[in-house]
Structure 1
Amino acid sequence: MAATNDLSKGAQTAEDVLTRFYAAERVYMASPAEKRDFTDLAHTLSPDVHIHQSPDMPYGGEYKGHEGFLKWSEAMATCFDRMEVSDRQVLHNGNEVVVTSTLRIRVRKSGEELVDPLIQWVKVDRDAGTIKEIRPFYWNVRGINEALGRGMYGQ
């Protein structure tokens, strides 16, 4: 997959779509539960968005639609109060994107910070400016589970 700039009239770049998503996600994750507002984040997502989370993660599973995304993001925000995706390298071919990046997360209960590589395979709808599918690949699943007080497989 090569980096391309083949834009249709009116279409956003894949990177534009992702930048809006990451900004909204960062604000949502940092908010206390009683103040989280899904509105801005929802505007970056297709109504039929599909998230595939590793079964080894504390919030592993398949999440579909805005309701599913909200369920996943609530589970993740319960674990972490800071999440930042930085040093992004976006490789795209139309609406399919691979993002290599650095993930910085802070455990909500302990304040422990983890910084590791993250790769995401993302499908976007550039015309709508939304994300349709996300499949993240975490570098340090064991470290995340240990920081959350879980064994490797949730034990």
Structure 2
Amino acid sequence: MEGKKHTPRSILGAFYDAERVYMSAPVDKRDFSGISATLSPDVKLEQTPNLPYGGVYTGAAGFQQWSGKMAELFDAVDVKEPEIFEREGSNRIVVLSTVNFRVRKTGKMLVYPFCQVVSVDLEKGQITEMRPFYWNVHALNEALGFSH
């Protein structure tokens, strides 16, 4: 990736593209290498503890563990129309978007406003940290058959 200029949008776009492919694949066809290529080796993902896949996931192995949990629950995850807000000189960005989930078990489509705080390494073109914020955790859990 030497000589290539990365932007937060290009890094996230590559991640979102790889995530869509991974989530929609049957279990025996899932290939994590596309997602892994977009992540720093010590990436940190922090999910709200109020979801069935909540917790802190570190490194590619942790991120793959989370991705596997998500793919068991959803057969479509698609972040639509991301608006990226950044401050010059900062490696942290805020992404406002709409997320579309399709529940694997029922086929139910869920569409919610979605926000993420993401840290990136612009030199390497990788995500170093990600923290998503969900619009309606209760409804998401209900659609998945979980209640808290």
The TM-score bracket by the shorter chain reads over 0.9
Question: How do 1:56-95 residues align onto structure 2 when only pairs under 5 Å count?
Answer: 56-93=50-87, 94-95=90-91
Could you report, residue by residue, the CA deviation over 1:124-147 in whole angstroms, capped at 9, with x for unpaired residues? 001100000000000010111000
Q: In structure 1, what residue type is equivalent to 2:14?
A: R
Task: Please list every run of 5 or more consecutive structure 2 residues that lacks an aligned counterpart in the other structure.
Answer: none
Cα distance in 1 for partners of 2:81, 2:100 equals 11
How far apart are residue 106 of structure 1 and its match?
0.3
How far apart are residue 95 of structure 1 and its match?
1.4
| Correspondence 1:102 to 2:88 | no
How far apart are residue 11 of structure 1 and its match?
3.5
How far apart are residue 25 of structure 1 and its match?
0.5
Cα distance in 1 for partners of 2:53, 2:39 equals 19
Which residue is 2:142 aligned to? 146
Give the 3-state SS of the residue equivalent to 2:15 in structure 1. Answer: helix
> How many residue pairs were aligned?
144
Which residue is 1:42 aligned to? 36
Question: TM-score w.r.t. structure 1 length?
Answer: 0.90
Give the 3-state SS of the residue equivalent to 1:147 in structure 2. Answer: helix
Give the 3-state SS of the residue equivalent to 2:115 in structure 1. Answer: strand
Cα distance in 2 for partners of 1:103, 1:90 equals 14
Q: Which among 5, 24, 28 is matched to residue 22 of structure 2?
A: 28
Identity %: 49
How far apart are residue 40 of structure 1 and its match?
1.0
The answer (yes or no) to whether the contact 1:11–1:128 under 8 Å persists in 2 is no
Cα distance in 1 for partners of 2:73, 2:126 equals 25
Could you report, residue by residue, the CA deviation over 1:24-55 in whole angstroms, capped at 9, with x for unpaired residues? 00000000111000111100000000000000
Question: TM-score w.r.t. structure 2 length?
Answer: 0.95
The answer (yes or no) to whether the contact 1:80–1:107 under 8 Å persists in 2 is yes
Cα distance in 2 for partners of 1:139, 1:20 equals 24
The Cα RMSD (Å) is 1.0
| Correspondence 1:12 to 2:6 | yes
Cα distance in 1 for partners of 2:20, 2:71 equals 10
How far apart are residue 10 of structure 1 and its match?
4.3
Give the 3-state SS of the residue equivalent to 1:123 in structure 2. Answer: strand
Task: Please list every run of 5 or more consecutive structure 1 residues that lacks an aligned counterpart in the other structure.
Answer: 1-8
